Amino acid sequence: MPKLALTDRFISGAKATTTPQVDYFDSKTPGLALRVSSGGHKAWSFIFTNGDGRRSRMTLGSYPALSLAAARTRASEARNDIEAGIDPRKTTAEGTAEMTVADLVARYMADPEKAKLRTIREIKRRLDRNALPLVGSIKLAQLTRRDVRDVIEPIMKRGARTSAWHTHKDLFAVLRWGVANEFLPHNPIEGVQKPGGFTAGERTLTDNETHRLWNELPQTLAKSATCQRVVKIALVTGQRLGEICGMRRGELDLDRKLWSLPGARTKNGFAHQVPLSDLAVSLVREALKDAAGDCVFAGEDGGPLEPHTVTRAIARAHQVSKVRPLGRFGIARWSAHDLRRTVLTNLAALGVLPHTIAHVANHRTITKSNVTFAHYVQHSYEAEKRAALDLWANRLAAIVGKRAAKVLPMKRARR
C-alpha cells in the first residue's frame, strides 16, 4: 500500500492499473487513504483500530466532491474522536443514528471549548453518577422526555433538589450542543419542565446562623479539617468555592496580603486579585502548614481539591434525623454559594458601594457595564476592595466571637 504526501495533482492522475483497486495512504494525515478503482472512481477512507483491536475502515466521501483539504480535516476529526474514546463512525451523518447518549456526552466532554469550562469535571461527575447509568445506552433517536424524568425523579425523591436541577441543566446543555453540531435534528427534551423546589439567589445566613456554623464546624465537619478551612475562607473572602479549592502557593503573597487568581481559574476568564484580611491570612497560613505540594487544598490524588468534595461533606451534614431535624449544622439548609451571597449582602449592609462589591465578586457585568467603565475608568479598586473585606472581617469576627459587634458601616462622603 503506497504511502506518500498526497497532492491534488497526484490525485487527479492516480490510477489502478495492475489490480482492481489500490489505496494510497497520505503521509501527512495518519489513517487517511485514497482508494482508486480500475474504473477511475476515487474515494476517501479513514483506517483505524477500534476498541476491540480490529482494523476498521470508515468512508469519508468521494473525490473531487470531497477535496484533499476537507478529507484531511475529517480524518483529523476522526482521530480526535478515537483519542477521546469515541468510535468515529458514530459521528458521521450515517452513524449518528447509532449514537447513544453516552457517545454524545463523551463527544461533548472532548470538545476543546467545553474542556475549558471551570465546571467541566463537576458536570462529568454529575452525568456519570446521575444520568448515564439510566440513559447512557439509549440511542439519541430514541431518547424521550420520559427518559429524562426517569433520571431526575429519583434525585428529587432523595431530597437533592439542587443536584436534580443541575443534572437537568447539564443534560439539556449536552443535547443542545448536539443539535448545534448536527448530531441531532432537534433537542428531544426541549420544553421539559425544570425540577421544582430549586430557588437560586435567595439564601443568606443570619448573624446567629453564621455564629453557629463557624463555631460548630469542628463537630459538623469533624472528618475534614480541609473542608472546615475552605468553608471559613469562603465566608471571609466571598469568593467562589471552586476558586478557593484550587488555590495554589504561587497565587499567594502573604506579605502583601494578596491572592492573585489567574484568568484560567476564574468563572469569567479574567484575572482577579483578592485582598486578604488578617483573618483570611491566618486561615491560609494554617492550611499551608498541612499542604505538602503547590496546592493549598489538595485532593486524594495530590491535585487541587475537587469542589464536590466540600459540597458532599456539607450535604452529609445536612442530613436530618429524629434527633437532628435540622441536620448537624442545626440551621436551615444552605449551600456553599450561599456563603458568597452572605458576604456580598453584608458588604452592602455595611455601606460598601455597589461598584466595589462587584469588584470584590469579580462581576464584570457590573464593573464593565458601560463604555465609561469598560474603556475609560482604569482604576483597579484594590484599596476599596481591601477596605471592604477588612471591614467585613472585623464584622465577622464580632459575629462569631463572644464580644458584641461594634463595627460601624462605611459612610458615604458628603458632596
Evaluate if residue 152 carries a pLDDT over 70: yes
Q: Superfamily for 3-83?
A: Integrase, DNA-binding domain (3.30.160.390)
Cell of 351: 455601606
> If we measure between CA atoms, which residue out of 330, 229, 240 comes closest to residue 289?
229
Dihedral (Cα; 156, 157, 159, 162), 10-degree rounding? -10
Radius of gyration of the chain (CA): 28
Kindly state the average pLDDT of the residues 340-356. Answer: 93
Evaluate if residue 375 carries a pLDDT over 70: no
**Distance between CA atoms of residues 177 and 140, nearest Å:** 13
Determine which of 1-5, 128-132, 352-356, 398-402 has the lowest per-residue pLDDT on average: 1-5
Max avg pLDDT among 104-113, 120-129, 382-391: 382-391
What pLDDT band is residue 6 in, cutting at 50, 70 and 90? Answer: confident
Same topology for domains 3-83 and 207-400, yes or no? no
Kindly state the average pLDDT of the residues 151-178. Answer: 86
What is the Cβ-side half-sphere exposure of residue 93, based on CA atoms within 13 angstroms?
Answer: 4
What pLDDT band is residue 166 in, cutting at 50, 70 and 90? Answer: confident
Max avg pLDDT among 158-172, 225-239, 290-304, 397-411: 225-239
SS3 sequence of 125-152: HHHHHHHHHHHCCCEHHHCCHHHHHHHH
> If we measure between CA atoms, which residue out of 219, 236, 211 comes closest to residue 339?
236
Kindly state the average pLDDT of the residues 4-15. Answer: 86
pLDDT confidence of residue 335: 87
What pLDDT band is residue 403 in, cutting at 50, 70 and 90? Answer: very low
**Contact present, 1 and 25 (Cβ < 8 Å):** yes
Residue 345 or 140, more confident: 345
Length of the chain (residues): 415
Evaluate if residue 201 carries a pLDDT over 80: no
**Distance between CA atoms of residues 324 and 314, nearest Å:** 15
**Contact present, 166 and 126 (Cβ < 8 Å):** yes
pLDDT tens digits along 205-222: 999 999 999 999 999 999
Determine which of 187-191, 220-224, 369-373, 389-393 has the lowest per-residue pLDDT on average: 369-373
> If we measure between CA atoms, which residue out of 250, 239, 326 comes closest to residue 277?
239
What fold does the segment set 207-400 form as a domain? hpI Integrase; Chain A (1.10.443)
pLDDT tens digits along 281-322: 999 999 999 998 899 999 888 889 999 899 889 988 988 888
Kindly state the average pLDDT of the residues 344-361. Answer: 93
**Contact present, 99 and 92 (Cβ < 8 Å):** no
- In percent, the amount of the chain with pLDDT more than 90 equals 35
pLDDT confidence of residue 373: 59
**Distance between CA atoms of residues 97 and 105, nearest Å:** 15
pLDDT confidence of residue 404: 42
The answer, as to whether pTM is greater than 0.85, is no
Q: DSSP string of 212-268?
A: HHHHHHHHHTTT-HHHHHHHHHHHHH---HHHHHT-BGGGEETTTTEEEE-GGGSTT
Alpha helices in 55-100 (DSSP H): 68-83
pLDDT confidence of residue 2: 65
Q: Enumerate the domain spans of the chain.
A: 3-83, 101-180, 207-400
Kindly state the average pLDDT of the residues 98-104. Answer: 84
pLDDT confidence of residue 100: 86
What pLDDT band is residue 226 in, cutting at 50, 70 and 90? Answer: very high
Evaluate if residue 405 carries a pLDDT over 50: no
**Distance between CA atoms of residues 33 and 361, nearest Å:** 54
Kindly state the average pLDDT of the residues 58-78. Answer: 84
Cell of 386: 481591601
Residue 327 or 283, more confident: 283
What pLDDT band is residue 329 in, cutting at 50, 70 and 90? Answer: very high
Distances (CA, A) of 293 to 51, 144, 257, 297: 37, 47, 21, 9
Evaluate if residue 94 carries a pLDDT over 60: no
Proportion of the chain in helix, strand, coil states, percent, rounded to 5: 50, 10, 40
Q: What is the mean pLDDT of the chain?
A: 84
